[in-house]
Chains A and B, each alone.
Chain A
Amino acid sequence: MSRTTPETAGPGTARPRATARVPADGRTPSSDTIVEVRGLSRDFRVRDGLKVRRLTAVDDMSWSIAAGEAVGYIGANGAGKSTTIKMLAGILVPTAGEVLTCGLRPVKDRKKLARRIGVVFGQRSQLWWDLPVRESFGILAAIHSLSRAQERTRTDELVETLDMGDYLGTPVRQLSLGQRMRAEVAAALLHRPELLVLDEPTIGLDVLSKQRLREFLVRERAEHGTTLLLTTHDMGDVERLCDRILVVDHGRLAYDGSLDGLGRTVGAERVLIVDLAEPRAELAVPDARHLRSEGGGLRQHLAFDPATTTAARVLAAVSEQADVLDLTIAEPAIEDVVRRIYERATTSSS
């Protein structure tokens, strides 16, 4: 691999990170790099009638993640997120390029790597559906060769912080989705991995379950320094969990940077929609933009950048001016954000 790898792939991408994480001269990464991806590509052969087409799921990507970071890996369906994760975990072999996870080659050192990473696939379970949660944890402890003492301390810790005490004896098939996701996350963390990869962890969860899971992940990262890499369609996950975002589009890296940078560059704004007691003229609120009014001013849409202000502050400012009866907050759709990044990239390169 002699080709130089710029920090962000694709032309005209959003601002590069201040500190380059991948040494452009191809030096071996320092020991605090936990994932290192260089020129990574993956093709699939797709049978289309009698013809066989090649489909590029991941296209010449280069980036790295330092130990302790929390990185959101976002993109539309089919952008290549799951393919990348499978290559990081040693499930898929890259077509070209290199991956190092925890300094190991994932396919060759899969068994060693399995002791050092935890992966939660939102759609496929690690647990045994017909066993109580507690027994699934016991088996996983045996699989990861934890001693009885390690097993007990770690299980107790996870049960307490994830609030699973009520349903430890319940068979997995009887759990609600929120309960099951917490158990899945615990299962992936039982062997104290350095890197936790979450593939759509909050998909289908109600607001409260999402909130609980996010709080736990923040805490786990603070207490154990666990590196997080998560794919998601939920801007809320990204805002509350990640300090860095990688946006992929058509298998290429379209953005690498912070959330506020993303908000600034493509306007990933949230919208506060307030229903007022009486019709009002356009509200003027600091750090928020009036988008439009409905019902002669009874309902007003205010856009704000979550990096500069909060929904609570915008609401407080509105409440000073008018009586608020009801409110909703619209999150920007990841698809919109990605589309706008893509549009920027294609217009600036042409």
Chain B
Amino acid sequence: MAALLASLRTPRGLIVALILLVFAILPLLTQAFDQRYLLSIGTRIVIWSIAAVSLNMILGYGGLVSFGHAVFFGIGGYAVGILAANGLQSGWLQWPVAIAASVLWAALVGALSLRTRGVYFIMITLAFAQLVYYVSAGLEAYGADDGLNISRSRFDGLIDLRDKASFYWLCFVLLLGTLWFCSRFANSRFGFVIRGAKSNDLRMTALGFPVFRYRLAAFTLSGAFGGLAGILLANEGAYVSPAMMSWVKSGDLIVIVVLGGMGTLFGPLYGTIAFFVLEESLKPLLDLGHKGWGEYWQIVFGPMLVLIALYARGGIDSLLGRRHG
């Protein structure tokens, strides 16, 4: 926590503080200006940020390119959805089950795939994600690939998730918690090993660290927070479908983490904001140039990704100047 507060005392810290402040009072702002759609974009940004932070733990800090992270959207979401469809509405039951399912799956996938390196790791994580994708698309009792309309988790007497502002604040508090955990993680001995192994895992092994076990633990933790994002996403739309975990979504998450700045605490947050702002604004911006151009927005967005990959290595985070510490 101290490190978190210390980082707020620099110019970049001010930017972070400003962003967090705007996010904290977003429901008040959107109500005052009657822009309810902005609140729903804000909710999605917060949820995707949680997923991006969780991917950043292994991708950014650990250098492990998981191309199947969206699978945790699906596992978290489907755990909630399947329980809800069977009449078990209580969040007190749904949420722990969903997290446990994500943890189990992450541990299994991690144990098998962390034995591989490089591209093989990219592909095996993708393969496991595709596996879950196709299984969920075959769940006929739960809507198969049409997906499943659900009613939102119930925390009777505590919070009503149907109320958009309360739901938003819940997501925001969970994002803060995720960020807090991530900063603890990054600055711990555990995080030090993960980061060290990114540049040279042989050296870390030689130093006597059981790199495989550390990585497996990180992968599992990352899966748990990914599952949390899935739970929230299912509750946001009151709907789950296999499309939540298509490989394109995993690709989007990677784009977000790189765009924001890998291995930085707030990078995933910047990345998510930028990604959603681009998605919402590129089309209308092009339409301003010429009516109808907006539909070709991907012809602009595609090369932008190429340019980001080629020239914006540090992501948005590096544009904000030298990092504190």
> Do the two chains bind?
no
